[in-house]
Every structure is written in structure tokens, then in C-alpha cells.
Chains A and B, each alone.
Chain A
């Protein structure tokens, strides 16, 4: 009980410290506003918003303000994606794809204002549910993770890469794994962490420091988005907004069970490494359709369907921060970008993280969700006007932002070359349906995997038995093997036969 009071007191102190600082509001309002704008413009995503701001703020402002800006943009962008989904039937972000299913029919039926008001409320409640889960579970997991040593860390890093590769693949699962392995291979460039042996530098001194996180993030997430956005023009017919954008409290009360369930689903999906808000939205939508008494109305303008996806994608944010803060494994692509920001500020997420930072993250999330709610309700008409700006006007500015951001954090032209190279590779990988998030997670976790794996072998004098003699390591090893085995066709057929299913 004392522990709970201690954490609540810590959270209260962090919250008050933020609330009394006027700069908090300046960063919050600007970043949430920018986030909603990025989310509202089809072609710009939450990951892009967080990545660009990471490059823009870098490590030159205090970490607290940097976190306010990045988390504010993250929360705002996931919510902002609902605007074009509802009014244009084009998801602003992948996370809002399910929202379009019911949001657009509602707008066409003259209920666009009501839909936007409910979406704002559901996103607000969803973010708070995810944040409360973050506050509770992060401590439970942190206490458990105190026993994590090098063997477990190595296997966890591998598990994070494999799981994100498995879950993020749109086409073949091995494409996700290949993407993760390419990321791991990129992390091997430079001086190795134990013996300082140069690897794959090809005599280029710049490569001795390895691939920097920010240029890789910019290249992997921003450059393909810019090229793709300029190549394909998303043109949609906007539905005129009818009705007042106010939260329909009667509907909120009526659908509270849906909102609560979707919040829990979103948080749970977010906690899976690398999965993200789009999967959360669809999973919650699917569950909602299955369990609802009015499931047949889903896709035809159902408020329940709208609330299912919108609550879950925002709840996913808090969930995605749990593995990031506890294990150092990002729960979603924007969380991977956030991890880049932590790294350039010399904060290592994982079991050794300063607990104060977690409390500040929770306090920022609460403030960001309130800011999003207020901005969403009172400035919605402005964001609707933004929707009329074509992406061919915005994307060139994003390109300039990307260039200056990547240069400023690394401080060198070489980082720009790296960004461009990674960008073109990521573009072709995207085109061939290789997921990009596992690559970024591989780059981020590669150093940790290499160092902890070899350190484990060093401690055991080369005996691999260490990975099975420690209970935690044995469980993680089994999970890794099960994850791979589950994709082998012969074993898949065997499991199906065991379950009595024909293949």
C-alpha cells in the first residue's frame, strides 16, 4: 500500500511541476496542434510527426520539454487521423483506417459533427485508459525486470525484433524477419561494443561511430513517405460538416462498456512490441463487431464501431510505452522514434531507467490528452480547413524539415547522405511489402543484443547452457523458438492436426 501511495505522490509531484511551468503549455499546445495537423493531412503520419520533432528538438532542449513535444505530437497525430477518415473517407494515418468504416457514412448522413465530437471524447478517454495502464503495469513489470541480466536482455532484444517482424508483416512473415535482420546488420557497423574492433567501415572514418539513430529514423520513416506522397495524389471529395462538434454525453454514457473494452484492447495490443495503433484499431473494431448486439450495423455508420477503433488507437499509445520504458523495446513505430529521442538524450529505456522519468511521462500523457480534447473540440473547424491543403504543398516543407533535423542532431553532412540512402532502401522495401518498423527496432536494439549476448558467453566461458539454466532466459529462449517454429509450414501443419483441424 505504501508503494502505491509513494508512486501516486511521485506522480502528483511530477504533475504539479509541469502544471506550474508556463513553458509546458507552450510546448504542449504547439506540439498537440502540430500532431493533429500531421494526423489530419493524409500522407503524414504519427511516426513522421514524432520523427521530425525528434530531429528538430534533438538534445538541445531539456529532456522534459523534448518529451512534452514528442508525446504531445504523438497523441495529437493519432487523434488527428480521424478527421480525413470521417470527412474524406481517406485515413489520415493507418491507425484511423477502421474509423473511416463508420465515420464516413455518419458524415454522409449529416452526423459529421456528432461523429467528430464522439471521436474526440473517445480518443481522450482512450489515452487516459492507456496512461493509467502505463502507471500501473510499468511498476509491476519494472519490479519483475530487476532480475534481468545479460542473457535475458539479449533474448528479449531478439524477441522484440522477431515479434515485431512477425506481427507487422502485411505479406510474408519472413519479410518482417528479414527487415529486422537488416536492421540488426546495420547496427553492427562501426566499432564493436566490447573489443572496439571496426566492422564494415570500409575505411571510412565516419562509419566508425556506426549508424546514428536519427538519420536512420528520418530515412526509414520520412523519406519513403515523402516520395510516396508526391508520387500518388490522394484526392477525396470532402463531405460538408453538419452538426455541432460537441461530445454527446448521452451516447458516451450509453457506449461506456464499448469504450472501456476498446481501451483495454488498445492498451494490450500496444504493449506488444512493434505492433502499433493501426492493428489496435482493427482488432478492437473486429472484437466490437463480434460481441456487439448491433454488429450488423458496423460499417454502415455505427457509433459503436466508430468508438471501438478510435478509443483503441489512442489507448495503444500508453500500451506502447510500457515495453519501451520497462524493456527498452518500442511498442509501436512512433514509440521507436521516441526511443531515438531518449537515446540522443542519453537516457536508456529499460530496467535501469530513472523511475522519475516514467512518472514525468505519465504526467505529460495526462496533460497531452486534456490538451488534445480541448483543441479537438474548440479548433476542429480550423483542422477541417487544413484538410483542403493538398499534400503536394506540405510534403516539400516536410522534406526541408527532415534535412535540417537530420543534420542538426548529427551535426554532419554524412548523416544526410545516410538518411537519403536509408530512405531509398526503405522506399523499395515498402514497395515490396517489407515492414519498416522491425528494421528501425533492429538498428535500435542491435547494439544491446550484440553486447549482452557476447557478455553472457564471456561470463559462462562460452557455454550456451547459460541460456537454459536461468529460468527467465529459458522462458525467453522458448518464446523465441516457439515464435520461429510457429511459422515453419511442417510444424504449422502438425499443430493444426493436433488441434484436429484439416489443413
Chain B
């Protein structure tokens, strides 16, 4: 069998895309029907006329999306997209591409959802940088799986131990992430002594998030994630108590 052309792959994926769009637009048209269109009363107050209703533009948008999803489906079916939709062409990637994407997606998920809100920003970002450079420089799947596991353990611990916002100030998840970061760094240095990139990883992983967070917090006076983090709380304390008074006097 000839290998599929890029257009055949696209049309097969368009078939799935059209189905998703179709159901999404139907769902949102149904949700839009909850918004008063013809001036119904709300809590005893007369609503607006149809032409001023908050549902008017959304009805237009989701109606247009519904029509376009049908047009896309038609184009896809005519080009053989439906026929190829359930084959390897339509479903997508080969094994290595799927591994690359899914490991990256998991790392980013645990970093943003687990680590950034709960763990000190320097520690969480240092772990992320170490993991991403080591895992994806050179494209070795064993490394990708290893770093995904490590970031996932740190993120899962933070999520499981301190899910509610009221517990985000706790430091035990900071220590877990710090130990994992330290362990991964040692592993990287021990197993890749000759690699220049590997030797640079610890420097980049410490300097980049530290400089960034300091510039944001003290240079541009921006809000930074997790001010009560293990390292940042100490930096902030010493900045305001010991350093800033030097030029504020």
C-alpha cells in the first residue's frame, strides 16, 4: 500500500475535527438557549428585546460553526477522509511521536497544575528545566519516561498532599521536589560526564528561574507564584529586612 499523502492525512483528521466541532456547536447552541432571547423576565425585571439579547451573537457564532463543521465534514468525506478515519492515518502518530507528545503533555500538566501553585517557583522550575533538557536533548525515549516519572511524582505529591488552596503554604512538597531535583541532577552528571550540555544543565536550572523570579518580584514589582515557597520566602525576607534598608535609610 502506498504511504498516505499529507493531504490524505489531513482530510482523515478533518473528519474527526468536523465531528468534534459539530457536537461542540450543538452543545453550545443548547447552552445558549438558556440565555433569554425574546425579552423574558428575569427576577421580576423585564429583559431586553431580542436584538439586544446576550444570546444573539453566540447564536450566530455557534450556528456558523455548526454549518462550517458540516461543510468540513462534506469536504473530508469527498476526499476519502471518512474511509481513512479509523485507520492509522486518521488516528495519528507513530509510537515515538505519541511518546514524545504524551510525556511532554504530562510534564507540562504536572508543572502547571501541581508544582507552580504549591511548590517554590525556583525549585519547581529548576526541576522542570533539568527534566526537559535532559529528557529531550538527544531524543532518547528512556530519558523522556524517566523525567516524566520524576516530575509526575513531584506534581502528584503536591496535588495529593495539598490540594486545597488553604494548604498551598506547606513546605513538605517543596522538600520532595527539591530532593527529586537534586537526585535527577546527580544522575545527569554521573551518567553524562562527557556531555557539555549535561554539565551546563545544573547552572541553567538554578540561574534561569532564580534570575527570572528576582527580576519579576523586585525589578518589575510583579506578582510571582507561591511567595511563601521554601526558597523565595527566605529571599524575600532577607531582601526586605537586610538588603533594602541599606539604600532606604
Contacts and interface: CB of A to CB of B under 8 A. Distances in A.
Partners in one complex: yes
A458 B51 contact: yes
A185 B62 contact: yes
A426 to B, nearest CB: 13
A61 B220 CA distance: 7
Nearest to A423: B108
B14 A408 contact: no
Interface in B184-220: 197, 200, 204, 208-209, 212-213, 216, 220
Interface stretch (A73-81, A187-195, A267-275): A187-195
A404 B121 contact: yes
Interface stretch (B154-162, B171-179, B222-230, B238-246): B222-230
Contact of B129 (A58, A400, A424, A453): A400
Given A399-B128, A407-B223, A231 B104 contact: yes
A417 interface: yes
A174 B225 contact: no
Interface stretch (A92-100, A124-132, A390-398): A390-398
B116 A407 contact: yes
Given A403-B225, A420-B112, A454-B52, A181 B64 contact: yes
A450 B52 contact: no
A284 to B, nearest CB: 27
B54 A227 contact: no
A400 B54 contact: no
B52 A194 contact: yes
Interface centre among B57, B68, B121 (most CB of A within 10 A): B57
Given A178-B65, A393-B200, A458-B52, A199 B58 contact: yes
A188 B58 contact: yes
Nearest to B57: A450
Nearest to B220: A60
A38 interface: no
B17 interface: yes
B97 interface: yes
Contacts of B62: 185
Interface in A203-240: 223, 227, 230-231, 233
B56 interface: yes
A171 B100 CA distance: 25
A230 B116 contact: no
A298 interface: no
Interface centre among A177, A178, A423 (most CB of B within 10 A): A178
A56 B132 contact: no
A392 B132 contact: yes
Contacts of A407: 116, 223-225
B100 A231 contact: yes
B68 A177 contact: yes
Interface centre among A57, A403, A424, A449 (most CB of B within 10 A): A403
A181 B61 contact: yes
B35 A199 contact: yes
B112 to A, nearest CB: 5
Contact size range, A: 35 or more
B20 to A, nearest CB: 10
A406 to B, nearest CB: 9
A200 interface: yes
Interface string A376-409: 0000000000000010110111011101100111
B152 interface: no
Contact of B116 (A188, A233, A403): A403
Contacts of A233: 139
Contact of A230 (B51, B71, B129, B136): B136
B201 to A, nearest CB: 8
B200 A453 contact: no
Contacts of A431: 13
A192 B28 CA distance: 16
A457 B57 CA distance: 12
B148 interface: no
Nearest to B104: A227
B192 to A, nearest CB: 14
Interface in B5-56: 10, 13-14, 17, 21, 28, 31-32, 35-36, 47-54, 56
A411 interface: yes
B56 A454 contact: yes
A53 to B, nearest CB: 11
Nearest to B9: A432
B139 A457 contact: no
Given A57-B220, A231-B101, A404-B121, A420 B108 contact: yes
Contacts of B51: 454, 457-458, 461-462
A178 B68 contact: yes
Given A60-B220, A393-B200, A403-B112, A174 B71 contact: yes
Interface of B: 10, 13-14, 17, 21, 28, 31-32, 35-36, 47-54, 56-58, 61-62, 64-65, 68-69, 71-72, 75, 97, 100-101, 104-105, 108-109, 111-113, 116-117, 121, 125, 128-129, 132-133, 136-139, 197, 200, 204, 208-209, 212-213, 216, 220-225
Given A188-B58, A231-B100, A404-B121, 11 more contacts: A58-B222, A195-B47, A197-B35, A392-B136, A403-B125, A413-B117, A416-B112, A420-B113, A449-B57, A454-B53, A458-B49
16 contacts: A56-B216, A58-B222, A60-B220, A174-B68, A178-B65, A195-B47, A195-B54, A200-B28, A227-B101, A231-B100, A392-B136, A401-B212, A408-B223, A450-B57, A454-B51, A462-B50
Interface of A: 56-58, 60-61, 171-172, 174-175, 177-178, 181-182, 184-185, 188, 192, 194-195, 197, 199-200, 223, 227, 230-231, 233, 390, 392-393, 395-397, 399-401, 403-404, 407-409, 411, 413, 416-417, 419-420, 423-424, 431-433, 449-450, 453-454, 457-458, 461-462
9 nearest interchain CB pairs?
A462-B51, A396-B132, A192-B54, A197-B54, A457-B51, A408-B222, A392-B137, A396-B129, A400-B125
